[in-house]
């Protein structure tokens, strides 16, 4: 009946407090059939509030009795809906709809608070969304007889704002906008972490001055030592805490890493940890809960470092880099000194921290008595700081010498003092102890200790009768809250007697919740009220670790939520997912009892569907389990660069080359190859066949019909011996296929990674033996895509392959591309021209793209939103693929490498475009190479400046996209690692590859494209004849007539009456009288087969498609034939 009572109380009432969002867009009115104007916001507020009521009770409408349903139906019937009967529906934006829904949830929470009637306020550490900071605010109260914790909203927070103004603004939002009745607030706990905490303290003090019973306490969700340390305004302490959090999050990445850490911790500790193991918990929260958090870290530092060193040496990519950054940070002298001093300074808090974190009420009462002595101990430490600090500093120095003997050095700031010991006593020990004392007095005030004495009323604490002459009475603080204060002493004595006399042989309630549900509580309303009061104190631990669980749920949602619109709103709504579960059925009931609501509520359902908030099976844990909600693992090649790490084992023993074709079919192909005479060799990326690695060997040639052809001749067993590999390729071509290598005029390799390095050596060996077989870029890929894929920086190379696969997957399907385009329009709704430009850049053949990395950076947010929705749509395999793509790109390393490639390859973009163009474009590109090389050289010489800019761009983008990053104190050393491992390598590789691919001989070969009439008309030079003779004199059918033939050719096409000028090599070959120019025809036939020559529209793939074979899920040797 509780739900029904709440509904009855609210019928006819206005919302407790309207927020500013509820007053937006009020000019948008509609006219009903009576000519009245208004909107549907108030009616929607009712619908949303009823959904929240049902959600809080975790009951659906169908589970209610007729009697319980009737008040809900009546309230829905009282709603008035505008825009029905064909009239225009008042427009309500998505954002406003979310705000109305949040206000409905908040109204219900406030109603529960009124029923309680006391509550406390708790804030967690700030969260950052894009460039804004917010404070999560929780309320703690007693619902019926059970303590509850609810997220009530997020306060906008400026960490560098004016203290007084911000304190006033925050208080105004809490009291005026959200309607919190602060006169009923009986506790407050504000996490003092990072800049801006003075604003929170000022607000806290203001509340305390206005409402003396609004007691300041620490929160039991965090170990007391950690809670107090977070409020210390010492830069070295804040830095140490940030590094420590990153350390714990690093080990929390996988069970294996966490297990390694656990072994290091347990192996170096001298006390059993079983009592402190709390499950389920993350590694990070377990450490923070332990009373000896700093003891554990200091005592196990050597083991933790050994784990990090093992990871950095065995892992690759970001994991290895992060391990190295953390290892260096933990070995830093300032970190070690701060850690050891903090450990010693917090030693008096050790037992107190444990008791308040997870102790029972009896233990808390015992510890309360020790608070004054703890403060006295800290004061004594401060008084004798010179002597105690000397001991602490010696411990720190010994630890530093043990874990990093070669790194025991101090900063310049330390060296400006007479000694490091003096620096740390003045800048760390003294301010640390001073702040710990002040915070202990602030958090454990006289009123707080009095409030905690109410715990003595719990049956398990052996409540005692109150002596009439006693001055310290457990209820004295709350006299004003008691309905009959004069009867309090009598009732408490009766309460004590009943447990002593009636239940002496029974199991006594040990917690507040157990006591409140006990039948005796109904007979003792004053005691019940006092227990409800102490139950809301943030410092008193809750059953089921509810506060910590709620905090973890919120943090997980922030970590995993990707959405359209406001992430703050989405997290708020998802944490109250039971409201979303109940909303569709409330809407259905409303439309049933009042059909006039249908137009508006249909619009609401569309908004919920658009925001992905319409699922009835939503669960708070949904965000946590997203990654495991689909099938476990797709084929790795879908999201990884193929074989960069050469993970497949190269088989030992003899293996033979294989081919698509049986002997009879090979003879037909061979006849065509012999007719063409000249050819070029292209080796594709290494592939796996039956678990072994092979290099696909292809050749390009021009057939008798002047059609460009490419045929896969063989699959060569891959070996790490480049000489053996080179011999195998030559054998396959010359002996098995009967080709004369003397007619090979070019070669290109598309292999990358280790296989690419081997193929580079093979290419060099072939070019040495057959000088005419020049190595060039392949037109199968754009130059920019090749520079990225072939980069020795694995992060960049793997990232490039990943984005290629991702963009192919998103654009190969019409529905997926439409969704991506919609997301682009959404994310660039303030810049429609930009959105249209990006939408037009979505192509199909991304391997030919010149700005793929630039496009990826621009549409990354849209791609994430698109993948996030696709994770729950389509077939299982599509959901699986979307999930893996989503996880892969929501990664700082991927974003950084993409940003680096975007910026570095912007210099080569024009050359990349020209090489995919017509002969004139390629000729003009040759002339720009000196300037390009100069630009790349300048980029390399100024890499420090450019890298800093790229890293800042990445941090900004990652922050906007809610990608987890290290704290700012570790970003600088991480940046240094990335500079050497990514930025420098990408730039140096681009320079080296441009030099290798565009040698003088290759440039001269490109200049021969001037023979194409249109190019000749635009860039006529006098060197063409000499170039052709020098490069191809052995191939020309009539060397002696070359000069006269060239002269006649120029006269033919440069004649003003020549008319149409062919612009491509193939078009030129098709001109009449080409047979009259035998030398030029040969030159053209040579040019069109070179790997850099673009594939024309009539390009012919082999009789069997290599790409189709590569796309197969399983490739088997049984499909192939031995050569």
* Burial of residue 272 (number of CB atoms within 10 Å: 0-12, 13-18, 19+): exposed
Go through 947-966 and write b for each residue having 16 or more CB atoms within 10 A of its CB, e for each that does not: beebbebbbebbeebbbebb
Query: What pLDDT does residue 624 have?
Result: 39
Query: What pLDDT does residue 289 have?
Result: 62
Using one digit for the tens of pLDDT, what is the confidence trace for 859-892? Answer: 999 999 999 989 988 889 999 999 999 999 999 9
Closest CA to 437 of 348, 363, 358, 339: 348
Contact 681, 710 (CB under 8 A): no
Domains of the chain: residue spans and CATH: 2-217+544-617 (no CATH), 224-443 (no CATH), 449-536 (no CATH), 658-776 (3.30.420.40), 791-998 (no CATH), 1002-1089 (no CATH)
Query: What pLDDT does residue 509 have?
Result: 87
Q: Is the dihedral of CA 446, 448, 450, 452 positive or negative?
A: negative
Contact 884, 638 (CB under 8 A): yes
Q: Please state, in angstroms and rounded to a whole number, the distance separating the CA atoms of residues 926 and 921.
A: 9
Using one digit for the tens of pLDDT, what is the confidence trace for 1026-1059? Answer: 889 999 999 999 999 999 999 999 999 988 887 8
Task: Return the structure tokens found at 605.
Answer: 């359902």
Contact 857, 898 (CB under 8 A): yes
DSSP string, 331-347: T-HHHHHHHHHHHHHTG
* Burial of residue 857 (number of CB atoms within 10 Å: 0-12, 13-18, 19+): buried
Beta strands in 168-321 (DSSP E): 185-190
Low-confidence ranges of the chain (pLDDT < 70): 1-38, 83-90, 193-195, 264-292, 358, 469-471, 614-654
Q: Please state, in angstroms and rounded to a whole number, the distance separating the CA atoms of residues 837 and 846.
A: 16
Q: Please state, in angstroms and rounded to a whole number, the distance separating the CA atoms of residues 214 and 186.
A: 4
Q: Say which residue the tokens 């910590």 belong to.
A: 548
Query: What pLDDT does residue 194 have?
Result: 65
Query: What pLDDT does residue 296 have?
Result: 79
Name 846's Cβ contacts closer than 8 Å, sequence gap at least 6.
785, 804, 807, 808, 811, 852
Query: What pLDDT does residue 611 have?
Result: 78
Query: What pLDDT does residue 676 have?
Result: 86
Q: Output the pTM of the full model.
A: 0.84
Contact 956, 902 (CB under 8 A): no
């Amino acid at each position: 009946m509780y739900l029904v009572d709440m509904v009855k109380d609210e019928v006819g009432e206005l919302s407790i407090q309207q927020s500013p969002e509820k007053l937006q867009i009020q000019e948008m009115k509609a006219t009903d059939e009576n000519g009245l104007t208004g909107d549907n916001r108030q009616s929607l507020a009712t619908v949303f509030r009823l959904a929240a009521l049902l959600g809080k009770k975790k009951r659906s409408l169908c589970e209610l009795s007729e009697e319980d349903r009737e008040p809900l139906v009546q309230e829905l019937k009282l709603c008035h809906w505008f825009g029905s009967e064909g009239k225009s529906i008042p427009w309500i934006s998505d954002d406003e709809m979310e705000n109305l829904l949040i206000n409905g949830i908040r109204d219900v929470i406030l109603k529960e608070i009124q029923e309680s009637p006391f509550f406390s306020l708790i804030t967690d550490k700030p969260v950052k969304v894009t460039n804004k900071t917010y404070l999560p605010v929780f309320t703690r109260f007693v619902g019926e007889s059970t303590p509850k914790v609810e997220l009530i909203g997020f306060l906008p927070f400026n960490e560098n704002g004016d203290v007084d103004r911000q304190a006033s603004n925050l208080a105004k939002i809490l009291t005026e906008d959200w309607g919190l009745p602060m006169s009923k607030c009986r506790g407050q706990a504000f996490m003092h972490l990072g800049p801006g905490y003075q604003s929170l303290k000022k607000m806290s003090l203001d509340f305390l001055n206005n409402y003396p019973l609004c007691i300041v306490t620490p929160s039991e969700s965090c170990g007391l030592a950690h809670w107090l340390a977070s409020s210390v305004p010492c830069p070295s302490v804040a830095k140490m805490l940030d590094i420590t959090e990153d350390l714990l999050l690093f080990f929390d990445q996988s069970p294996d890493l966490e297990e390694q850490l656990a072994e290091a911790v347990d192996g170096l500790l001298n006390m059993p940890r079983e009592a402190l193991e709390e499950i389920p918990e993350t590694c990070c929260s377990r450490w923070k809960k332990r009373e000896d958090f700093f003891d554990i870290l200091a005592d196990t530092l050597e083991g933790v470092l050994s784990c990090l060193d093992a990871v950095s040496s065995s892992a690759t990519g970001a994991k290895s880099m992060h391990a190295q950054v953390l290892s260096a940070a933990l070995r830093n002298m300032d970190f070690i000194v701060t850690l050891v001093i903090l450990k010693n300074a917090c030693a008096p808090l050790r037992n107190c921290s444990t008791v308040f974190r997870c102790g029972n009420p009896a233990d808390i009462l015992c510890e309360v008595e020790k608070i004054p002595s703890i403060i006295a101990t800290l004061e004594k430490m401060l008084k004798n700081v010179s002597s105690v600090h000397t001991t602490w500093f010696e411990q720190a120095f010994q630890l530093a010498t043990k874990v990093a003997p070669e790194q025991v050095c101090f900063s310049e700031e330390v060296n400006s003092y007479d000694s490091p010991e003096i620096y740390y006593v003045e800048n760390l020990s003294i301010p640390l102890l001073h702040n710990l004392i002040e915070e202990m007095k602030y958090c454990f005030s006289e009123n707080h200790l009095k409030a905690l004495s109410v715990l003595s009323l719990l049956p398990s604490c052996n409540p005692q009768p109150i002596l009439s002459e006693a001055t310290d009475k457990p209820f004295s603080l709350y006299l004003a809250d008691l309905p009959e204060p004069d009867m309090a002493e009598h009732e408490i004595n009766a309460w004590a007697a009943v447990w002593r006399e009636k239940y002496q042989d029974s199991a006594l309630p040990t917690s507040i919740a157990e006591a409140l549900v006990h039948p005796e509580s109904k007979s003792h309303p004053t005691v019940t009220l006092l227990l409800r009061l102490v139950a809301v104190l943030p410092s008193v631990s809750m059953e089921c670790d509810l506060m910590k669980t709620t905090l973890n749920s919120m943090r997980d949602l922030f970590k995993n939520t990707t959405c359209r619109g406001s992430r703050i709103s989405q997290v708020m709504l998802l944490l109250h997912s039971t409201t979303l579960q109940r909303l569709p059925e409330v809407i259905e009931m409303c439309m049933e009892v009042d059909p006039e609501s249908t137009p508006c509520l249909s619009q609401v359902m569309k908004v919920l569907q658009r925001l992905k908030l319409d699922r009835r099976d939503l669960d708070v844990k949904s965000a946590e389990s997203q990654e495991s909600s689909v099938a476990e693992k797709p084929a790795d090649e879908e999201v990884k660069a193929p074989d960069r790490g050469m993970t497949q084992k190269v088989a030992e023993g003899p293996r033979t080359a294989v081919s698509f074709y049986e002997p009879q079919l090979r003879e037909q192909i061979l006849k065509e190859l012999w007719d063409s005479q000249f050819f070029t060799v292209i080796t594709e990326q290494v592939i796996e066949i039956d678990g072994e690695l092979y290099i696909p060997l292809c050749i390009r040639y021009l057939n008798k019909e002047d059609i460009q052809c490419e045929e896969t001749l063989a699959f060569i067993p891959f070996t790490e011996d480049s000489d053996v590999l080179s011999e195998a390729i030559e054998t396959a071509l010359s002996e098995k296929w009967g080709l004369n290598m003397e007619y090979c005029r070019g070669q290109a390799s598309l292999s990358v990674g280790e296989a690419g390095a081997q193929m580079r050596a093979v290419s060099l060996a072939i070019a040495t033996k057959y000088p005419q077989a020049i190595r060039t870029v392949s037109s199968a890929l754009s130059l920019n895509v090749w520079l990225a894929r072939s980069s020795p920086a694995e992060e960049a190379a793997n990232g490039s392959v990943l984005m290629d696969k991702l963009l192919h997957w998103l654009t190969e399907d019409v529905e997926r591309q439409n969704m991506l385009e919609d997301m682009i329009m959404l994310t660039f709704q303030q810049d429609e021209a930009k959105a249209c430009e990006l939408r037009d850049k979505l192509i199909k053949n991304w391997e030919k793209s010149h700005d793929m990395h630039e496009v990826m950076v621009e549409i990354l947010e849209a791609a994430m939103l698109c993948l996030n929705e696709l994770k729950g749509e389509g077939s299982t395999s599509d959901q699986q693929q979307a999930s893996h793509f989503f996880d892969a790109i929501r990664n700082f390393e991927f974003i950084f490498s993409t940003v680096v490639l975007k910026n570095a390859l912007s210099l080569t973009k024009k050359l990349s475009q020209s090489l995919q163009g017509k002969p004139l474009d390629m000729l003009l590109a040759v002339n720009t190479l000196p300037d390009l090389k100069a630009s790349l050289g300048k980029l390399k010489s100024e890499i420090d400046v450019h890298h800093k800019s790229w890293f800042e761009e990445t941090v900004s983008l990652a922050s906007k996209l809610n990608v987890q990053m290290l704290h700012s104190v570790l970003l600088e050393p991480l940046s240094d690692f990335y500079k050497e491992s990514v930025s420098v390598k990408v730039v140096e590789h681009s320079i080296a590859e441009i030099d290798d691919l565009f040698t003088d001989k290759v440039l001269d070969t490109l200049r021969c494209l001037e023979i194409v009439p249109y190019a000749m008309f635009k860039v006529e030079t006098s060197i063409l004849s000499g170039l052709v003779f020098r490069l191809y004199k052995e191939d020309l059918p009539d060397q002696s007539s070359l000069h006269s033939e060239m002269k006649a050719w120029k006269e033919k096409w440069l004649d003003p009456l020549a008319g149409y000028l062919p612009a491509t090599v193939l078009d030129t070959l098709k001109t009449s009288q080409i047979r009259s120019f035998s030398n030029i025809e040969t030159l053209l036939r040579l040019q069109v087969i070179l790997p850099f020559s673009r594939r024309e529209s009539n390009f012919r793939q082999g009789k069997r498609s290599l790409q189709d074979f590569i796309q197969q899920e399983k490739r088997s040797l049984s499909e192939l034939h031995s050569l």
